[in-house]
Structure 1
Amino acid sequence: MPRHVDHDLRRRQIAEAVWRLAARGGLEHVTLRQVAAEAGVSARLLQYYFGTRDKLLLGALEILNTDAEQRARARLTQLGESPSMHLLVRGVLLELLPLDEERRNRHLVHVAYFVRFLNDPALAAAVRESPPALEKLVATLLGRARELGELPPSIDIAAEAAFLVAGAEGLQASVLLGQHTPEQAVSLIDHQLDRIFATSQP
């Protein structure tokens, strides 16, 4: 009787092998043979699931991004049934920081992909929309906060959303390099959020 194979699980197994290799030493010299050995599968099976090396790198990135989004949603649900807009914006921004092993490893993989992003249109397209989408999400939450009276009417929603996302993304490298501790990075995010969520009352 043929053994049932979970194809999604097998694709993830291979993708995780790419992530480990990327985090350890970048992508420039990663081969299909190395990924197959790291994943514990044959090169033929790897090609069956992903085809070429470029498709493998793209597929592994897409799985990583989908996984990150699912984990982020799960963490945001832990804020409770009716969290304030302040807490929701904070939760979104903290997802951009390497605050635990899972997020740290994910950011290391993205760093390894960065040079490829600059030179590979297909890979770049997979991440190009991420910052604008995050800015839009944060702007939407800030707009809702203003409607609820949690935010002063003078706040420039679009500018603050862009600044907050860029600031959180900029802290990624400093935390990975040890220039800031995770706690310091969170404190800097909180400082900015306290600034813009400050009431307009004297």
Structure 2
Amino acid sequence: MPKRVDHTQRRAHITDALVRVAAREGLHAVTMRGVAAEAGMSLNLVQYYFATKARLLHAALERLEQQSHQRWEARLDALPSAPSAQEFIEAFLAEALPTDAESRAFHLVWISYAVLAMTDPELAAQPFVEGPDRLERQLTDVLRRARRDGALGPRRDAATEAARLLSLSHGLGTSVLVGQRTADAARDVLRAHLDQLFEEAPRDGVQQDAPG
């Protein structure tokens, strides 16, 4: 009886191989042949699952985003049963910093993809901004609930603050990647900004739902 092939697992194996190559050599140096060698597969097999490099790169981003969400859920599980809005958002933003090998690979690949997409029409055609847009909507929802429950000042606009927080965390993440500051220093900057954002309102514990 022929062995059944788990195509989902095989696709994940290929995208994980791409991430390893990109983290080691840079996304600009990634080739389909190099990914095939890293995955221990033939080039034809890799091309069977991903007809173009652009599709493979986009699949790798989706895989990295899924893994990032899993790490975020683990951070959430480690919080107290009724975290304050500030604690909840701080944990949310902590995942946006490259603090270990996995999160570093995520940020390195995503930033590199964004840079390449600026001059590559095929990469630019892929909807790679869906992830950041979704995160911004989720953070906006959390901030709106925090304002409604009195944990955030009533004059704060949730959408504006969400965009500001994500822009700050992304910039700090890049500064960590290039060695400008340590991950601990970046977390301190985020924490200081959150202290300022929430100082207008009481810090009563507010139970929030996880972004989903």
Aligned to 1:128: 129
TM-score by length of 2: 0.85
- Secondary structure, in 3 states, of the residue corresponding to 2:27? coil
Aligned to 2:158: 157
Alpha-carbon distance between aligned partners in 1 of 2:61 and 2:55, rounded to the nearest angstrom: 10
Aligned to 1:94: 94
Aligned-CA RMSD value: 2.0
- Post-superposition CA distance 1:42-83 (Å, at most 9, x none): 112111221222222222222222222233233223324432
TM-score by length of 1: 0.88
Alpha-carbon distance between aligned partners in 1 of 2:156 and 2:137, rounded to the nearest angstrom: 16
> Does structure 2 conserve the Cα–Cα contact (< 8 Å) formed by 1:22 and 1:112?
no
Considering fraction of residues, name the structure with more helix.
1
Aligned to 1:49: 49
Count of equivalent residues:
201
- Secondary structure, in 3 states, of the residue corresponding to 1:28? helix
**Cα distance change, pair 83–200 in 1 and its aligned pair in 2 (3 A):** closer
Identical aligned residues as a percent: 45
Structure-to-structure mapping, 1:57-136, within 5 angstroms: 57-120=57-120, 123-124=123-124, 125-136=126-137
The amino acid of 2:190's aligned partner reads: I
Aligned to 1:39: 39
Alpha-carbon distance between aligned partners in 2 of 1:68 and 1:132, rounded to the nearest angstrom: 15
Unaligned runs of 5+ in 1: none
Unaligned runs of 5+ in 2: 203-212
Alpha-carbon distance between aligned partners in 2 of 1:90 and 1:189, rounded to the nearest angstrom: 8
**Cα distance change, pair 130–55 in 1 and its aligned pair in 2 (3 A):** closer
- Post-superposition CA distance 1:8-55 (Å, at most 9, x none): 221111101111222222333432211111111111211122122222
Aligned to 1:170: 171
> Does structure 1 conserve the Cα–Cα contact (< 8 Å) formed by 2:96 and 2:169?
yes
Alpha-carbon distance between aligned partners in 2 of 1:94 and 1:142, rounded to the nearest angstrom: 16
Alpha-carbon distance between aligned partners in 1 of 2:64 and 2:162, rounded to the nearest angstrom: 24
Alpha-carbon distance between aligned partners in 2 of 1:193 and 1:121, rounded to the nearest angstrom: 38
- Post-superposition CA distance 1:120-174 (Å, at most 9, x none): 4554443223333322222221121122221222223232221111000000111
Alpha-carbon distance between aligned partners in 2 of 1:60 and 1:133, rounded to the nearest angstrom: 17
**Range with greater deviation from structure 2 (93-102 or 116-125):** 116-125
- Secondary structure, in 3 states, of the residue corresponding to 2:82? coil
